[in-house]
A and B are shown apart, each in its own frame.
Chain A
Amino acid sequence: SQTIHQWPATLVQPVGSPLSLECTVEGTSNPNLYWYRQAAGRGLQLLFYSVGIGQISSEVPQNLSASRPQDRQFILSSKKLLLSDSGFYLCAWSVGRLDTQYFGPGTRLTVL
């Protein structure tokens, strides 16, 4: 069966510091991968999605970037965090032409 992992689970970082969040998927090949951000009590905002290694599509302008160095690894990064980057970051995967996305446990990021 497929599983999705995210780490770290929680992170507290000062403004201006770098960021690296990691997401990995097990049990499937060539998944579509997604990064979402969820502000407190709000809906899901799609940040990036990837249909293959090295293929990244950005949905909104921001100081975040994403990379996919391996088939089942998706990384969210920033060189300098802003206060507004605080939130709950969710990674998700889907396979092929299917629309159903499955979410990871999330990373709670607090920027102080």
Chain B
Amino acid sequence: GQQLNQSPQSMFIQEGEDVSMNCTSSSIFNTWLWYKQDPGEGPVLLIALYKAGELTSNGRLTAQFGITRKDSFLNISASIPSDVGIYFCAGRTLPTANFGNEKLTFGTGTRLTIIP
């Protein structure tokens, strides 16, 4: 089945630094989503991308849908303490006879820690 490779697995940064993480796939995706999960809570949608090459911002967050349709990145500028958490990418491939249109594939997550 599809796999999403998310990197890095964890990041330790100082407040104010910029952050970059990415997801790659061996399959073509036609939707990329980025979520953030705080401890003990459900993931919250940050950015949704629907077109190859699309670059979308949400405050200090910027995400891009790779032109090859096989990757996406998320950047966070000037990190602050509330950015701490686990970031997940998720994507949907083109539908096939054996795959429901409604399912997403999730990356394994990037754990962001801010060092005081």
Contact = CB atoms under 8 A, between A and B. Distances in A.
A53 B88 CA distance: 29
Contacts of A84: none
Name, among A44, A104, A108, the residue most crowded by chain B CB atoms within 10 Å (CB to CB).
A44
A43 B41 contact: no
B59 interface: no
A105 interface: yes
Given A43-B88, A100-B48, A94 B42 contact: no
Contacts of A32: 102
B56 to A, nearest CB: 13
Contacts of A97: 101
Nearest to A51: B102
Nearest to B50: A99
Contact of B100 (A44, A49, A88, A105): A49
Contact of A103 (B42, B48, B92): B42
B102 A94 contact: yes
Interface residues of B, number: 24
B40 A108 contact: yes
B33 A100 contact: yes
Chain A interface extent, by class: 20 to 34
B66 interface: no
A92 B41 CA distance: 13
Given A100-B48, A102-B45, A104-B42, A57 B100 contact: yes
A9 to B, nearest CB: 9
A46 interface: yes
Interface of B: 31, 33, 35, 40-45, 48, 50, 88, 90, 92, 100-104, 106-109, 111
